[in-house]
Amino acid sequence: MFDEPQAQGHRSLEGFWGIARRRRWWIFLPLFLCWGAVWTGAKLWPSAYESEAVILVEQQKVPEEYAMPNVSVDLQDRLQNMTQEILSRTRLQAMVDRFQLYSRHEGAAGASPSEDVVERMRKDIKIEIVEAPDRRGELAALKIRYTAGSPELAHQINSELTSLFIDENLKSQQQLSEKGTASVENQLAEAKAKLEEQEAKVRSFKAQQREELPSQLESNVQVLSGLRAQLRATQQALDDAQQQKLHLEWLLQKYQPALGNLNSEEAPATNPDPLDKELQDLKGRLTEASSIYTDNYPDVVALKDKIAKTEKLKKQIEDETAFRQETDNTGTNLETGTSTVHAGTSTAIIEIQNQLKANLLDKQDYQQRVKDLESQISSHQVRSNVTAETERQWLGISRGYEESKMNYSLLLQKQMQSRLATSPDGRQQVEQRRVIDPPSLPIKPSSPNHFKISMEGLLLGIAVGIGLAGLLELTHARVWQEKDLKKLLSVRVLIGIPHLSTPEEQSREALIPWIEGGALAAMFILILVGNIYVFLKG
């Protein structure tokens, strides 16, 4: 039971082997003929030779702060534009005419011969982008391939294409750099005109608001603070002068009766106590002022002067009082003493009157100074209020000026960088293309691949042979074995009649295996030699 599938498989293999033996020439002859036809056709097919060149694309070679590129066009776009320019009909037609390319190629139906030749040349040109291994999507090199019917022609045309790519790259980069430089210079001219306009606005504003500029605000505040301090000091001095006037008037009122008493020989002793009180008050104020201000401060100097004058007046009064007492004690020369005291008292009164006159002048001077200071303070106060509005206007003008100045400086720097990038040395520093693999002189043809075609022809022959053998088995039914006959007939085979051959037939049948073996050997040798030949020839 388990041996039945194995027996069926064994019988199937025997059946296939029997078919192969019976139809061997229907297999081998188509195999050899198909292979021979394909091999011969491949040899007759014109060989094409491909020349290859590699152009290295070197990016920025120096830091950007020394050589900044003035164009930011993507390299892929530039390559596409250069390819379109190089593969233009004008350039290709010129190369076709110069090198006499495709001279035997006739135009296709519906197209002129020149158009068909240009399209064919475009198909023979292949441009491949090589990406950097460590930077995906970044262009590292270009491979240019050209296919022609001879190695020399392929090398010559590819050399021309490589030179065109190098020249076109330099030309394209030069044009882009010049356009970038021209654009920057136009922007720079506009920025310069705008900067000059802003400078004119600044000059006009400064001329109109010379004393109301925001830069004067701090000085105005300082001046205003100083004027207010002077006003306070002047008002204090005016108050002091008023107090001194009252004091001098009091002294004058006191000395005038004393002078009348002296004339009537009843002069009382003068009491300097009010002067002492005045001196104490002045010295107290001097001490307070000295703790705040320096010795050269006007208030300190004025207090020292008042103290000196008061002390001088006090000394005169004390001298007069002492002299009068001495005269009273001696009792002699009363008349002379009286006249002397009278003269001294008159001198003190004259001194007080002189101080009153000086005090009046000081008061008038202080009052005038107060008016002047108040006027100046009012003027600076108005100026400070106006400066706040002026500052708002100045901020708008200065902001526009600073922006224009910064924009002009940036564009000026960009112009210098653009000119450097436009120069030949600058272009080489920014980007460079050089040939690392010059156009090759091909030794073996790139197409057709004879070995591959030969193997494909061999496979085709095998398929055709097997197909024909199977077709004959299906269409020419014959009984080859006893078991096949049993399937057709219900009776049993009792005896088999062997094939009886004559001596001539036997000798001929004996030669047939040798002839077939020799033919098969010859076919296999030819196939082997042919494949080795095309493999070595490329």
For 82-136, what is each residue's pLDDT tens digit?
Answer: 778 778 888 888 888 888 887 744 433 333 455 688 888 888 888 887 776 665 5
Residue position matching structure tokens 């005109």: 193
Q: 3-state DSSP call for residue 403? A: helix
Does some domain include residue 346?
A: yes
Q: Do 388 and 251 fall within a single domain? A: yes
Q: Do 54 and 38 fall within a single domain? A: no
Mean pLDDT of the chain: 73
Q: What does each C-alpha distance from 424 to 243, 421, 429 come to in angstroms?
A: 92, 8, 9
Q: Do 115 and 19 fall within a single domain? A: no
Does some domain include residue 119?
A: yes
Q: Do 38 and 162 fall within a single domain? A: no
What's the pLDDT tens digit per position in 228-239? 888 888 888 887
Q: Do 132 and 53 fall within a single domain? A: yes
Q: Region 369-376: what's the mean pLDDT?
A: 85
Q: What does each C-alpha distance from 76 to 72, 138, 395 come to in angstroms?
A: 12, 9, 48
pLDDT of residue 67: 45
Answer yes or no: is pLDDT of 483 > 50. Answer: yes
Q: Quick one: CA dihedral 498, 503, 505, 508, positive or negative?
A: positive
The confidence band for 70, taking pLDDT boundaries of 50, 70 and 90, is very low
pLDDT of residue 24: 83
pLDDT of residue 218: 64
Q: Do 10 and 83 fall within a single domain? A: no
Does some domain include residue 284?
A: yes
Helix ranges restricted to H, 265-333 = 273-292, 298-330
DSSP 176-201: HHHHHHHHHHHHHHHHHHHHHHHHHH
pLDDT of residue 75: 60
Give me the number of domains the chain comprises.
3
Q: Region 63-72: what's the mean pLDDT?
A: 47
Helix ranges restricted to H, 65-214 = 75-86, 89-99, 113-124, 151-208
Q: Do 138 and 242 fall within a single domain? A: no
Does some domain include residue 201?
A: no
Does some domain include residue 203?
A: no
Q: Do 290 and 350 fall within a single domain? A: yes
DSSP 382-393: HHHHHHHHHHHH
Does some domain include residue 194?
A: no
Q: Do 161 and 308 fall within a single domain? A: no
Q: Do 488 and 395 fall within a single domain? A: no
Tokens for 368, please give them.
């005038």
Does some domain include residue 186?
A: no
Number of other residues whose CB lies within 10 A of the CB of residue 462: 16
pLDDT of residue 268: 43
Does some domain include residue 38?
A: yes
What's the pLDDT tens digit per position in 215-224? 555 666 777 7
The confidence band for 507, taking pLDDT boundaries of 50, 70 and 90, is confident
Q: Is the pTM for the entire model greater than 0.85?
A: no
pLDDT of residue 299: 75
We report the CATH number of the domain holding residue 141 as 3.30.1890
pLDDT of residue 214: 54
Secondary structure (H, E, C), 210-252: CCCCCHHHHHHHHHHHHHHHHHHHHHHHHHHHHHHHHHHHHHH
Answer yes or no: is pLDDT of 226 > 50. Answer: yes
Tell me the residue range of the domain where 140 lies: 49-178+425-437
Q: Do 319 and 462 fall within a single domain? A: no
Q: Which residues 6+ apart lie within 8 Å of 413 measured at CB? A: none
Q: Do 353 and 496 fall within a single domain? A: no
